[in-house]
Amino acid sequence: MIERIASVADLDLAQWDALLGPGDFYLSRDWLRYAEGTATAPPVYLCATDSGKLVAGLPCYLLDRDAPFPFCRLDRVLGGAEVVMPSLFCGGRNPAHTRVAGGAGAEVVAAAVALGEELARSTTFLYVDEDDEELRGLLREHGFASFPTATASILDVPAGGFEGYLASFRSDRRSAIRRERRKVREAGFELAVEPFTESLAAELVPLDQSVVRKYGDEWSPEEVEAMYEPLLRYLGPRASVVTARLRGRLGGFLLLLRWRDELYARNVGFDYELQGRVPLYFSVVFYEPIAYAARTDVTRIDYLIASEDVKRSRGCRQVGQLGYVRCADPRVQRELARPRTS
């Protein structure tokens, strides 16, 4: 039996959480509340039950051309194909690890197809792990076209703390990591993990802007602040921030979200003028989080997508992500079904 539920508040959260396994933070109740609270249209939760027991679940988000989630909007992923909008994004609203809570769930996938036909011009599962053969098979059966979308990076925290992490590399890489950490210390930067608070969020804004600007985009302080406010409201207790300070001034940060024994890397930022030639990036993004993970019984750090080479060089394993798309326009669907390399 399939039920459409309109709010996280109406889900049986104990049963929902029981469906979740490793890597499922973006299907967890806290992330669902955040995603619902920032949605531009009310989401729909598709729930499959058997004799009253929840056996599979799938959040679905209707996105139009005004939705501020570029990695989840099919028109942005395809490069401006507006004919596919509005689009139904299925899975945790996040650019990695699109999956069904509890497993592939044939009934839930069929229900998502029906919902997409009812509400949208396209239905997407945009970031399916390449090794999720069950879900991939179901999507093929429903006529979805597929193409590579990204590569997700995951760091499995080794036993033995930071020294155990170092031991996983060849001697030349170990020497390079020690050298990078030494340069950060000698420059006077102090690394720490701080609680995510309103006052700290205000410090993060200009550094976040600097990274966005470096990669060719431009966000106003108000736009960045608007992103942090719901993170604080919905996920504040789960959040911590790796900070690098020079005489009290913030030079770099990484926002982390904790769920069970896992950490999820989110926003990152740097003051490039203060940093200068100091290799701060690696200490903030990898070395300090790994040391923190080892101290706090974390077994896995999820680094999302992008910068694959850098993440692989610092010990991440990688999982290819495949986009699956079903469009109402048969011409667009035929185009998507053609072999693609990227």
Nearest to 265 by CA among 217, 222, 314: 314
DSSP one-letter string for 245-281: EETTEEEEEEEEEEETTEEEEEEEEE-HHHHTTS-HH
Q: What is the pLDDT of residue 224?
A: 77
- Enter the pTM of the model: 0.94
CA torsion 28-100-297-155 (nearest 10°) is -120
Q: What is the pLDDT of residue 342?
A: 44
Element (H, E) at 30: helix 29-37
Alpha-carbon distance of 96 to 103, in angstroms, equals 16
Alpha-carbon distance of 124 to 34, in angstroms, equals 21
Q: What is the pLDDT of residue 262?
A: 98
Mind listing the domains of the chain with CATH numbers? 2-151+319-337 (3.40.630.30), 158-298 (3.40.630.30)
Q: The tokens of 137 are what?
A: 């098979």
Please list the pLDDT of the chain residue by residue as tens digits (342 residues).
999 999 999 999 999 999 999 999 999 999 999 999 999 999 999 999 999 999 999 999 999 999 999 999 999 999 888 899 999 999 999 999 999 999 878 999 999 999 999 999 999 999 999 999 999 999 999 999 999 999 999 999 999 989 999 999 999 999 999 999 999 999 999 999 999 999 999 999 999 988 877 766 666 777 778 889 999 999 999 999 999 999 999 999 999 999 999 999 999 999 999 999 999 999 999 999 999 999 999 999 999 999 999 999 999 999 999 999 999 999 989 888 887 654
Q: What is the pLDDT of residue 192?
A: 98
Q: The tokens of 120 are what?
A: 């949208």
Alpha-carbon distance of 268 to 211, in angstroms, equals 8
Residue 318 CB coordination number (10 Å): 16
